[in-house]
Amino acid sequence: MKQFRTEEEKQQLDAELGKDVAGRRIIAERYGMTLSLRSCLMFVMPIVPVVVPTVLLLSWPAALGFCIPVISYPLMSKLIHPYLHQPYRVALQSAPVGIRWLLSTRYMRSVWRHHWLHHRYPKCNFNLLLGGDYLRGVHRFPSQADKRTMRKLGLPVD
């Protein structure tokens, strides 16, 4: 699946990301299309302090409920991330039925905006699970100018 509109767009992102170790890891992992164990752990670490006590103090069903984000992050990256690099209407038309339904939800429209901001401002909004970037202190809300640009690009702006 194509992630960039042009080779120039890819080169510009590579130049920005190549400035530090984390950015070079993103390039090596094909911009989230493949994830190393280390990268998965980095994104799920904020919930570990909740999961471990839950496993020790509560029932296994409660612990399982807290483990859903652990499974969700790699699945979001592998299954959903490629569609976030397509125009919204194109993604809805090309996605399989289950993914199409998920992409059309209010939550995923928020993820779409969140992810677009990550590409516009590469030092924020890394997580495809909303909330993770709040915990990591790297969340960014869209400005009015960002929202105007998103509308021009055909992104879902509610």
Domain assignment present for residue 134? The answer is: yes
Domain assignment present for residue 105? The answer is: yes
- The Cα–Cα gap between 9 and 119 comes to 11
pLDDT at residue 11 above 80?
A: yes
Q: Residue 73: is it exposed, middle or buried by C-beta count within 10 angstroms (0-12/13-18/19+)?
A: buried
C-alpha of 57 from chain center: 31
What does each C-alpha distance from 46 to 37, 69, 79, 147, 154 come to in angstroms? 15, 10, 22, 29, 33
Domain assignment present for residue 2? The answer is: no
pLDDT at residue 2 above 60?
A: no
What letter would DSSP give residue 20? S
Query: What's the domain range around 118?
Result: 7-153
pLDDT at residue 104 above 90?
A: yes
**Assessment of whether the complete model's pTM goes beyond 0.85:** no
In this predicted structure, what is the pLDDT of residue 4? 67
Domain assignment present for residue 35? The answer is: yes
Domain assignment present for residue 158? The answer is: no
What confidence category does residue 106 fall into, taking pLDDT thresholds of 50, 70 and 90?
Answer: very high
Number of domains in the chain: 1
Centre a 10 Å sphere on the Cβ of residue 43 and count the other Cβ atoms it contains: 22
Share of the chain above pLDDT 90, in %: 17
Centre a 10 Å sphere on the Cβ of residue 13 and count the other Cβ atoms it contains: 18
Assigned token pair, 105: 């939800």
Share of the chain above pLDDT 70, in %: 83
Tens digits of residue pLDDT in 45-98: 766 776 677 677 777 777 777 677 677 777 777 788 888 888 889 899 999 999
pLDDT at residue 143 above 90?
A: yes
What confidence category does residue 102 fall into, taking pLDDT thresholds of 50, 70 and 90?
Answer: very high
Domain assignment present for residue 81? The answer is: yes
Average pLDDT, the chain: 80
In this predicted structure, what is the pLDDT of residue 45? 72
DSSP 54-122: HHHHS-HHHHHHHHHHHHHHHHIIIIIHHHHTS-HHHHHHHS-HHHHHHHTSHHHHHHHHHHHHHHHST
pLDDT at residue 119 above 60?
A: yes
Most confident of 68-72, 123-127, 133-137, 141-145: 141-145
CA-based radius of gyration for the chain: 16
